[in-house]
Structure 1
Amino acid sequence: MDLTRLAGHLSAAQVRSIAGAMTTPQIALWSGAVSSGKTISSLLAFLILLTRAPSHGLIVVVGRTLQTIERNLLDPLASPELFGPLAGQVHHTPGSTTAVILGRTVHLVGASDARAESRIRGSTIALAYVDEATLVPQSFWMMLVSRLRVPNAKLLATTNPDHPGHWLRQDFVLRAGEVGMKHWHFTLDDNPSLDPGYVALLKTQYTGLWYRRFILGHWIAGQGAVYDMWDPDEHVTPWDELPPMDRLLCLGVDHGTTNPTAALLLGITFDGRLYLVDEYRHEPRRDTQRLTDAQQSSRLREWMAQPHVPNGARLPVEYVAVDPAAASFRVQLHSDGLASSPANNDVSHGLSLVATLLARRQLLVSDRCAGWINEVGGYSWDEKATEKGLDAPLKVDDHSLDAGRYSLTTSEALWRPYLIDPLDLAA
């Protein structure tokens, strides 16, 4: 396979990592800053190793979901701008759990929770690739390692850093020599294809924890405010000045009986910017009335029937995503004729997602979302959880924040292709 054309566009760090992946005892890990060239380097190494993989044993590509595999890996591989004529050797039907790359069948495995372990149990794997390894359950990773039973089988993986107590760092990165791993740390300067203006923009878009993890590439614990990039002067828009919405994508609902119930409605504009446009909120203590599920359903549906964007426009709410713990409330909604889905409650991914969107000014909030606005400034990391090696916010005054997170994470596949690029925001 001729990689001369591609090699001329790689940094020294990228070339070293690709060469090192060929000789790693078993595992090769690329970690570090966002947009630092990790993915391109690892994919090139994957293609080379794919041509050398034995005919027996599966080829497996792993990500949080099939959609993230398609977006983060298959789409770049199929891009002639990135991989030249090799892109024509990538064949995949969207939604399919297999692809054909360089003539080999590649199995695509979503690993969003521990149940994914069963998808590879009993397999014999010759070559595996894991996208965003810190988001994969530890039980899945350990099962995957145990399946590398073909002689000289390799596991390639990429990740942004996480909490310093994360199992991947403690059990593998810090013990790389013992566990047959080679590890490379990447910074933004290791990606020669980035425009200097874009690098400067990225550095201004992240603050606090997210800056140290995503820009500096540090494994760092959460401290202080979760959303320290929040600026009401920058992020809050008067409801009557909202731009025209293209769609109302999702209503995220955090249901409570003794605690508040909150629902946040997510919209996207024609030019690809996200807005939390409106909020429903019932507080039993303040409103002096505890509502049954039937009463909550009635009030929520009455609120949904009202206009949620200015100028009298009425757009349908495409999805309703309810806290997955509120099963009885979902049953009530269903009996009342309102279909809903369990919300995506991956907290770590959701916090990172909201923080990134706020930092890049890709998510704005209307002043009708008073509960969300009141909660966001005081939303802080839990120091006791940090001491245990976990990233977790304090579970205090977070009902609207949870509802907003549900609306964003559950509908991510809908809005992600249309999200405006950060460079356009700065124009």
Structure 2
Amino acid sequence: MSMNDLLTVKQQEVLHAYLQGDFKTMILTGAVRSGKTFIDNLLFLYELRRVKQQAELENEKHPQYILAGASSGSIYNNVIASLSNQFGIDLRADKHNHYHLYGVDITPVYTKSISGLAGARGFTAYGGYVNEASLANPAVFSEILSRCSKAGSHVIADTNPDAPTHWLKTDYIDNENPDNKTLVFTFTMDDNTFLAPDYVKQKKAQTPTGMFYNREILGLWVSADGLVYQDFDEDRMVIPASQIPNDLHVYCGVDWGFEHKGVITVWGDDDDGNIYLLEEHTSKYKYISYWVQVAKDIQKRYGYNINFWVDSARPDNVSEFQRNDINAINADKARMAGVERVAEFMKLGKFFVVDSAIDQFTSEIYQYVWDENTGEPKKEQDDVMDSMRYAIFNEHKDNDIEFLSSRYI
């Protein structure tokens, strides 16, 4: 078996650079499913063996190595479980939630918030592995670098792209000072030659046009620009009610409002994976009793067990729905993941709007644009858009584990 049977060309380049050893920080950045995490997990094993050898020379009985990630769950999913699946190495956490391999104490650090500083302080590490580095708090990332002060220590990291103004890009990836001793490798999806060609073709076809495609497929650090839903085609996607299939699975999204628009949208899925906006109810200056009646009327038409995915910002309204036997469920409001899920349906041509349903939908979708400063959609003209996102993202989330996790693999 040759190296080409085990590693892609890009992964071999990374391994060769690692074995040369002339670096302090190595950052692998780029597309989803491009092989970054696999090679970093392999380097993690190399690192632990290196640390064990160095610690023996220094008579250090309990060498520590940092394993960092956004949360304990992401560390387990992306590293611990992957080591078991890929290399047959099963690690079990001790009572301190540390792992142990090759005589090295693997110390977890959670990077998503500033509270992770507490876990990174107070000890000297022989090195570190930072998974999902762009999700890290910059102060925590900096502290990890500071902790890894043993001679010859390395910090390896992987990340998916974000905005070009992101601190990881400007402060580390683009830092050309040779004393910084940072190596950067950029992956595209096509670099992972072990992926099935039909999977790559499908992934490219379903990834929304613009920012999502540039980041997830090409591995580019690009800004969001223009319309959020660039693949919405009014001529093809707005249809008459006569084209609605029978036997739809129906659910709703609810965005509370008063001085700004309140919205309930009604959606239906057919057996072919298409989704349809069946009804839109949009009004200002309406109290909760009005929305209860709207929901009750929807139940009469579509059934009393349908889900209403609601904005959790108004728990009093949620409770009022529930007291009236309306199946109100607090929605996961993850904006970027939700927007991408909706946009994927549009890119695949599986998104339709019944013409008689439209009130403010068309007006909003053409005014729903990216904020260049935040890299997320602007909080303007977004009431129907939020209702749509709550409904579609949450109703399909449990069936899309691969979709949600693949961006970090």
Conserved in 1, the CA contact under 8 Å of 2:34 and 2:188?
yes
Q: Which residue of 1 aligns with 2:16?
A: 19
Which residue of the partner structure matches residue 33 of structure 2?
35
What corresponds to 1:57 in structure 2? 64
1:185 CA drift (Å): 0.9
Residue 381 of structure 1 aligns with which residue? 370
Work out whether residues 348 and 391 of structure 1, in 8 Å CA contact, stay in contact via their aligned partners in 2: no
Q: Within 1, Cα distance between the matches of 2:393 and 2:92?
A: 25
For residues 164-221 of structure 1, what are the alpha-carbon distances to aligned partners after superposition, in whole Å with 9 as ceiling and x for unaligned?
Answer: 1111111111115454421101123321213344434444444222232223222222
Aligned to 1:183: 184
Following TM superposition, by how much is the alpha carbon of 1:328 offset from its aligned partner in structure 2, in angstroms? Answer: 5.3
Q: Give the structure 2 partner of residue 160 of structure 1.
A: 160
Counterparts of 2:286 and 2:109, CA distance in 1: 42
Give the structure-2-normalised TM-score: 0.74
CA–CA distance in structure 1, aligned partners of residues 395 and 68 of structure 2: 24
Across the aligned residues of Structure 1 and Structure 2, the Cα RMSD in angstroms comes to: 4.2
Q: Shift in Å at residue 157 of structure 1?
A: 2.3
CA contact (8 A) 1:260 1:281 kept: no
> How far apart, CA to CA, are the structure 1 residues paired with 2:193 and 2:158?
18
Change (3 A) 1:123 1:300: farther
- Answering whether residue 381 of structure 2 is matched by residue 392 of structure 1, we say no
Q: Tell whether 2:289 aligns with 1:295.
A: yes
Identity %: 22
Answering whether residue 80 of structure 2 is matched by residue 78 of structure 1, we say no
Mapping of residues 3-402 of structure 1, within 5 Å: 8-21=5-18, 23=21, 25-54=23-52, 55-63=62-70, 68-69=74-75, 71-79=77-85, 83=86, 86=87, 88-91=88-91, 112=112, 114=113, 116-117=115-116, 120-122=119-121, 124=123, 126-149=126-149, 151-175=151-175, 177-206=178-207, 207-232=209-234, 240-241=244-245, 245=249, 252-264=253-265, 273=273, 275=275, 281-284=281-284, 290-292=285-287, 294-295=288-289, 298-299=292-293, 301-303=295-297, 305-308=299-302, 315-317=305-307, 320-324=309-313, 326=314, 329-330=317-318, 343-360=331-348, 364-365=351-352, 367=354, 370=358, 371-372=360-361, 374-382=363-371, 386=372, 388=373, 390-402=374-386
What residue identity is the alignment partner of 1:305? Q
Report the TM-score when normalising by structure 1.
Answer: 0.71
Alignment check: 8 A CA contact 1:323 1:406 kept? no
Look up the SS of the partner of 2:158 in the other structure.
Answer: strand
Conserved in 2, the CA contact under 8 Å of 1:32 and 1:217? yes
Residues 274-283 or 186-195, more deviating: 274-283
SS of aligned partner of 2:339:
helix
Query: Where does structure 2 lack aligned partners over 5 or more consecutive residues?
Result: 53-61
CA contact (8 A) 2:68 2:111 kept: no
In structure 1, C-alpha distance between the alignment counterparts of 2:290 and 2:126, rounded to whole Å: 53
| d(CA) in 2 for partners of 1:128, 1:296 | 56
Determine which structure has more spread, i.e. the larger CA radius of gyration.
2
Sort the Cα spacing of 1:27 and 1:343 in 2 relative to 1 into closer, same or farther, 3 A.
farther
The alignment partner of 2:174 has SS state of: helix
Equivalent residue pairs, number? 386
Distance 1:369 1:322 in 2: 21
- Alpha-carbon distance in 2 for matches of 1:70, 1:360: 32
Residue 228 of structure 1 deviates from its aligned partner by: 1.0
- Aligned partner of 2:59 in structure 1 is none
One-letter identity of the residue aligned with 1:12: V
CA contact (8 A) 2:30 2:159 kept: yes
Task: Name stretches of at least 5 consecutive residues in structure 1 with no aligned partner.
Answer: 285-289, 423-427
SS of match in other structure, 1:44? helix
Shift of 1:5: 6.8
Partners in 1 of 2:391 and 2:99 — Cα distance? 31
AA matched with 1:164 = P
3-state SS of 1:216 partner: coil
